A and B are shown apart, each in its own frame.
Chain A
Amino acid sequence: MNPLLQQFLAEGRDQLQQMSESLLALERGEQSSEHINELFRLMHTLKGASSLFTFPEMTSVLHIAEDLLTAIRERPAALGRDLTDLLLECLDFTSLLLDEINQHDQPLAHGEQSGQLCQRLQQQLQSWNTKVGQNAPLQTQEQTAQPVPTQQPATTATSRATKQAAEHSDQSSLADHRILQSIPEALRQQILIESLHEPELNYIVYRPQAQCYFSGEDPFFLARQTPSCIWGTASGSSQDLANLDPYDCQLVFHVLSRASDIELQQHFQYVVEQIDVAPIDARQLIFLSSQADDQPLSQETLDGLHSLYVSRNVSGLRQRLIDILGQIKTQTTTASALRWLQCAANHAPDSPVMEQTWQLLTRHSQYQPTQPGTIQHNDVNDEMMQRGMQEVLATQRHILELDHNTPWAKGRLKAAANSLANIMDATGQSEQKHHLRQLLDESLQDFNTRSMISWIDNLLDHPVAADQEQTAATRRAPITSQQAQQPSSPSTVSSPAPIAQGSGRQRTNPPAQPTTPAQAQVAASRSEHNVAAEHSGRARMADNNEPELTPRSDNSPRYLKVDQEKIDRLMGLIGEMIVARNRLPFLAARIERMEGGRGDPVLRELSRDIKEQHSLINRIAEEMQDTIMQIRMMPFSSISMRFPRLVRDISNRLGKQVRLEMEGEETEADKNIIEILAEPLIHIVRNSLDHGLETPEQRLRAGKPAEGQLLIRASQEVDRVLIEVNDDGLGMDPDVLREKAVEKGLIDSATAVRLSRQECLNLILLPGFSTADTVTDLSGRGVGMDAVRRAIDKVNGGITISSVPGKGTRIQIRLPMSIAATRVMMIETDGQLMGIPMDQVQETVRIPQSAIHQVRQQQTTVLREQILPLVALNDLLQLPISTRLNEDNEYAVLVIRNGSEPLGLLVDNFRGSTEVIQKPLGGLLAGVTAYTGAALIGDGSVVMILNLRALL
């Protein structure tokens, strides 16, 4: 996927999210104008961006939605729920398309859906306009009662959208100078000629405010008085006389002026925000006046002109043009093209204008020079390349030979150098560019182009076998004069030029570089123009001493959007670095263990140095790890922002009134954690809305306010994130839950009786419980809770449920802030090292063998006057070995939390706790549930991390 599209997708989603937030805020009646403006801006941006690609459905829907917003903007207070629904639907539709684009690079066809949406939007727009006209608040049109009678084809909407977009861009930017086309050709030619000596030319668009007459302004007068005005006109939007409000100024003034930017700013100083000034190059005025009928020139005539043009026989060309123009009708496009060429030949034969006008004619006439015995033009082969290159080089050489006593000489030199640089690129000789640049620098200083000319001669002449004549630098007749004598001689075609050999290597990849003198010139001058335009202010090329062969780097943006994979890779690397760091103490210990290690002062010092380095690396590595973790941190708001919409939609559907409150949205956690949290939270919120909160009537009967409350709160607890979902709804009755569980056969009735109230609540997390029927409000409360528990287990999180019947329910989720590094307790069993996540370990104790009792099949002991069931890890792992005792006949017991009950795990030995980076198991081991992953420890050995939940 191309980067532009990727960015569009990422930004599009953000924009959709922000738009839906603004919409909801508007619906709540918060500071209307601010939100509506924001909404409008986002919609406009998104629509604009979508039209960069070909997603006509998206663009058309967004376009009409934007129209609707424009209307709403006038009276945001009247935005009703139905309209909000419709706009949200548009956002959803766009979101759907974005998803599809993400998957398939293209949206699938939704002609029907988009057509319907457009139509409904259109209806709303019309009804809005009429209602607003009558000054009545907007009511919903009977959109649901009106089945869409006929499909409005998406294409209709699209073409309309495109048209309006074009109009819009005309009003909002200077990019499109369509209005300049109404300048008569003669005037344009005059401006062009004058611009050869006086290059300053500005195009001003002045949009007076609609109410400007009331403050005594006369914008027409102001526009007419524009200093150094060359041409001007007014335009407006179409209206008819009958409905015209003459005091509502809809005029836009367009002015061409030779005044400088400063003069113009001064002139328009009181309305400076209403004008746009853009410098334009007079060459932009070179275009053909379109005429109805045309009188094309014959190939012969064009060949004749071509030979005159190529040979730079300006006087011949002038004479010939007068002849031809005398023979054809003046009102034809061809005549217009010829007049431009004539204008250039008469006034600027040596400037790029000449090439541009020549191109205008050849393109209009679709002219290809006749070449005996050559090649079709679409067949780019060696000879074409050679010839083209030679022609370009010869032209540049000719340009360099011209008189440099002109104001544009500097620009011309640079343009020529640019063309030459392009050729070097095209022929794979980019390394020559540096030399070229030096030559340009020299030439610019004293306008002595001799060195550049000889460099070109070298290229034109110097064969690959470098030991040939070195007289290239001496003066020789320019190639162009040879061509003049024999314009269509095959000899110029067949003589192999070294440049073509250079290009031979490149030929598999035909370069998109200029291949004719005219193109090269135009391209060069265009790039020159672009560069000039890039310079802030109005620094002209001639004032700029820096030759522009390479583009300048921009200011780098403050934010980077980085692919998550790169951060993950960084995370992985720092993990490995920490492991490598952990090896240092082992190394130091090994030195100390070496023969005489403790006694030998050298070895002891070496060991101490290593430890010192270790602490240094340790500090850096930890800081690095912290920083990388920080990068991965995301605020809780990144998932919580979808809740307002979710709550609104569900509560509207269920006919409940719910006030959503959110706290601690700035709480941060690792991206993975936050993302894992998203789904479970939606389940929980949905459950609260569906089963927890009552309808307004029920609530009033129960003596509660009609509006239910849902509180979602995120906070930080040391190294964990706590997410709480509170509702003040029905709550859950443990007894009912107990009965249900027995009914479903999840627990037997004997167990059920023993369950505490809290344990009863936890029943909703059982897998079977999630499929409970929803006959009563209570029984449905387990829907999806099993999925919630699984998701939270996956990241070693915990979930706590508390509920008071009639008062409400609270669900708390605790998650680690990061899953990158895990602190594990290292234990040893059957001679192997294993890790157990530290958060599951309650304590470690040594229990004498004598203190262990057998109660039925269960080994138990009494720890601080509480019975502690014991399980041997060897049994869990099905290792046929009994647990080892230490010298004092004691067992090593790891007390772990198993649900709410503690459990003693018998192991061979404890090996302390350490921080590891867990890697998930891959390949065949991926299916083994007994381990959550593996980690490398300092001495380079692999430690398996036990998954006690799966084992017990």
Chain B
Amino acid sequence: MPHKLLKRRAVLSGNVGIEETDEILQWFRDREQEKTELDLSDCDHLHAAILQVLMIARPRLSAMPANASFGEWVGNSLSSGYGD
């Protein structure tokens, strides 16, 4: 189970594949009006589809991944985000 979707916090770990997209999207849809957090400390990679969901949902990055360059990619994308 590469992810734990908690009450306010999504903890994604390992290599998150496209098959998780629906579940993660639904989780964010259910919390559209709320502030959410994203924990990537154990995450190595996200599929582009998931990145796209995250970029729209814009959770707060509460824990950066161990891989610095991956962290930068996600950080840049989430802050430049959609609408550019």
**Which A residues form the contact surface with B (CB < 8 A)?**
178-179, 182, 208, 213, 217-221, 223-224, 229, 231-242, 244, 246-247, 249-251
A224 near B79 with CB under 8 A, answer: no
A233 near B25 with CB under 8 A, answer: no
Partner of B49, one of A232, A233, A241, A247: A247
Q: How far is the CB of B19 from chain A (nearest CB, A)?
A: 11
User: Which residues of the partner chain A approach B53 to less than 8 Å between Cβ atoms?
Assistant: 241, 244, 246
User: Which residues of the partner chain A approach B84 to less than 8 Å between Cβ atoms?
Assistant: 178-179, 235-236
Interface residue B41 (Cβ < 8 Å from any Cβ of A): no
**A224-B81 contact, Cβ under 8 Å, with A218-B18, A218-B48, A232-B76:** no
Nearest B residue (CB) for A183? B76
Interface residue B13 (Cβ < 8 Å from any Cβ of A): no
Q: Which of B34-73 contact A (CB under 8 A)?
A: 45-49, 51-53, 55-57, 69-70, 72-73
Partner of B29, one of A213, A238, A242: A242
**A221-B55 contact, Cβ under 8 Å, with A233-B76, A234-B77, A237-B82:** no
Partner of A233, one of B22, B29, B73, B83: B73
9 contacts between A and B (CB under 8 A): A218-B47, A234-B55, A235-B81, A236-B52, A236-B82, A239-B82, A241-B25, A246-B21, A251-B48
User: Which residues of the partner chain B approach A239 to less than 8 Å between Cβ atoms?
Assistant: 56, 82
Q: Which 8 A-B pairs have the closest CB atoms?
A: A233-B76, A220-B48, A234-B77, A238-B83, A235-B84, A219-B48, A246-B21, A236-B82
Partner of A224, one of B49, B57, B73, B83: B73
Main secondary structure of the interface of B (DSSP, over half): helix
Q: How far is the CB of B29 from chain A (nearest CB, A)?
A: 5
User: Which residues of the partner chain A approach B57 to less than 8 Å between Cβ atoms?
Assistant: 241
A249 near B49 with CB under 8 A, answer: yes
**Which B residues form the contact surface with A (CB < 8 A)?**
18, 21-22, 25, 28-29, 32, 45-49, 51-53, 55-57, 69-70, 72-73, 76-77, 79-84
User: Which residues of the partner chain B approach A208 to less than 8 Å between Cβ atoms?
Assistant: 48
A241 near B32 with CB under 8 A, answer: yes
**Given A236-B82, A249-B49, 10 more contacts at CB 8 Å?**
A213-B18, A213-B49, A218-B48, A220-B47, A221-B48, A224-B45, A237-B83, A238-B82, A239-B82, A242-B29
Nearest A residue (CB) for B15? A221
Nearest B residue (CB) for A179? B84
Q: Which residue of A217, A233, A235 has the most chain B CB atoms within 10 A of its CB atom?
A: A233
Q: Which residue of A182, A213, A241, A247 has the most chain B CB atoms within 10 A of its CB atom?
A: A241
A240–B83 alpha-carbon span in the complex (Å): 11
A233–B76 alpha-carbon span in the complex (Å): 5
B49 near A246 with CB under 8 A, answer: yes
Nearest B residue (CB) for A234? B77
Q: How far is the CB of B62 from chain A (nearest CB, A)?
A: 20
B45 near A249 with CB under 8 A, answer: no
Q: How far is the CB of B35 from chain A (nearest CB, A)?
A: 14
Main secondary structure of the interface of A (DSSP, over half): mixed
A1–B73 alpha-carbon span in the complex (Å): 51
A-B contact count (CB 8 A): 97
A236–B80 alpha-carbon span in the complex (Å): 9
User: Which residues of the partner chain A approach B29 to less than 8 Å between Cβ atoms?
Assistant: 241-242
Partner of B55, one of A229, A236, A240, A247: A236
A231–B32 alpha-carbon span in the complex (Å): 30
Q: How far is the CB of A221 from chain B (nearest CB, A)?
A: 6
Partner of A244, one of B25, B47, B70, B80: B25
Q: Which residue of B18, B47, B48 has the most chain A CB atoms within 10 A of its CB atom?
A: B48
Q: How far is the CB of B55 from chain A (nearest CB, A)?
A: 6
A249 near B52 with CB under 8 A, answer: yes
A231–B53 alpha-carbon span in the complex (Å): 21
User: Which residues of the partner chain B approach A237 to less than 8 Å between Cβ atoms?
Assistant: 82-83
**A240-B48 contact, Cβ under 8 Å, with A179-B80, A224-B69, A235-B82:** no
A213 near B48 with CB under 8 A, answer: yes
A229 near B69 with CB under 8 A, answer: yes
Q: How far is the CB of A742 from chain B (nearest CB, A)?
A: 79
Q: How far is the CB of B70 from chain A (nearest CB, A)?
A: 7
A219–B32 alpha-carbon span in the complex (Å): 26
Q: How far is the CB of B75 from chain A (nearest CB, A)?
A: 9
User: Which residues of the partner chain A approach B47 to less than 8 Å between Cβ atoms?
Assistant: 213, 218, 220-221
A179–B52 alpha-carbon span in the complex (Å): 17
Q: How far is the CB of A777 from chain B (nearest CB, A)?
A: 64
A213–B76 alpha-carbon span in the complex (Å): 22
B82 near A221 with CB under 8 A, answer: no
A61–B77 alpha-carbon span in the complex (Å): 35
A233 near B51 with CB under 8 A, answer: no
User: Which residues of the partner chain B approach A244 to less than 8 Å between Cβ atoms?
Assistant: 25, 52-53, 56
Q: Which residue of B45, B47, B70 has the most chain A CB atoms within 10 A of its CB atom?
A: B47
A251–B47 alpha-carbon span in the complex (Å): 12
Q: How far is the CB of B37 from chain A (nearest CB, A)?
A: 16
Nearest B residue (CB) for A232? B73
A182 near B76 with CB under 8 A, answer: yes
User: Which residues of the partner chain B approach A219 to less than 8 Å between Cβ atoms?
Assistant: 48
Nearest A residue (CB) for B31? A241
User: Which residues of the partner chain B approach A224 to less than 8 Å between Cβ atoms?
Assistant: 45, 69-70, 73
A217–B48 alpha-carbon span in the complex (Å): 9
Q: Which residue of A217, A231, A236, A251 has the most chain B CB atoms within 10 A of its CB atom?
A: A236
User: Which residues of the partner chain B approach A231 to less than 8 Å between Cβ atoms?
Assistant: 72, 76
A235–B55 alpha-carbon span in the complex (Å): 8
User: Which residues of the partner chain A approach B32 to less than 8 Å between Cβ atoms?
Assistant: 241-242
A229–B68 alpha-carbon span in the complex (Å): 13
Q: How far is the CB of A168 from chain B (nearest CB, A)?
A: 14
Nearest A residue (CB) for B45? A221
Q: How far is the CB of B80 from chain A (nearest CB, A)?
A: 5
User: Which residues of the partner chain A approach B21 to less than 8 Å between Cβ atoms?
Assistant: 246-247
User: Which residues of the partner chain B approach A217 to less than 8 Å between Cβ atoms?
Assistant: 48
A721–B69 alpha-carbon span in the complex (Å): 75
Q: How far is the CB of B5 from chain A (nearest CB, A)?
A: 15
Q: How far is the CB of A832 from chain B (nearest CB, A)?
A: 84
User: Which residues of the partner chain B approach A249 to less than 8 Å between Cβ atoms?
Assistant: 48-49, 52
Nearest A residue (CB) for B48? A220
User: Which residues of the partner chain B approach A241 to less than 8 Å between Cβ atoms?
Assistant: 25, 28-29, 32, 53, 56-57
User: Which residues of the partner chain B approach A221 to less than 8 Å between Cβ atoms?
Assistant: 45, 47-48
User: Which residues of the partner chain A approach B45 to less than 8 Å between Cβ atoms?
Assistant: 220-221, 224
A892–B2 alpha-carbon span in the complex (Å): 113
A232–B71 alpha-carbon span in the complex (Å): 11
**A234-B51 contact, Cβ under 8 Å, with A241-B32, A247-B21:** yes
A220 near B51 with CB under 8 A, answer: yes
Nearest B residue (CB) for A240? B56
A342–B10 alpha-carbon span in the complex (Å): 43
Nearest B residue (CB) for A255? B73
Q: Which residue of B21, B56, B77, B84 has the most chain A CB atoms within 10 A of its CB atom?
A: B84
Q: How far is the CB of B64 from chain A (nearest CB, A)?
A: 15
User: Which residues of the partner chain A approach B83 to less than 8 Å between Cβ atoms?
Assistant: 236-238
Q: How far is the CB of A163 from chain B (nearest CB, A)?
A: 13
A242–B56 alpha-carbon span in the complex (Å): 10
B77 near A235 with CB under 8 A, answer: yes
User: Which residues of the partner chain B approach A179 to less than 8 Å between Cβ atoms?
Assistant: 80, 84
User: Which residues of the partner chain B approach A233 to less than 8 Å between Cβ atoms?
Assistant: 73, 76-77, 80
A220–B47 alpha-carbon span in the complex (Å): 6
Partner of B80, one of A182, A223, A238: A182
Partner of B52, one of A182, A232, A242, A246: A246
A251–B56 alpha-carbon span in the complex (Å): 11
Q: How far is the CB of B45 from chain A (nearest CB, A)?
A: 6
B77 near A246 with CB under 8 A, answer: no
A221–B57 alpha-carbon span in the complex (Å): 20
User: Which residues of the partner chain A approach B56 to less than 8 Å between Cβ atoms?
Assistant: 236, 239-241, 244
Q: How far is the CB of A213 from chain B (nearest CB, A)?
A: 6
Q: How far is the CB of B16 from chain A (nearest CB, A)?
A: 11
Nearest B residue (CB) for A238? B83
User: Which residues of the partner chain B approach A218 to less than 8 Å between Cβ atoms?
Assistant: 18, 47-48
User: Which residues of the partner chain B approach A247 to less than 8 Å between Cβ atoms?
Assistant: 18, 21, 49
A899–B77 alpha-carbon span in the complex (Å): 84
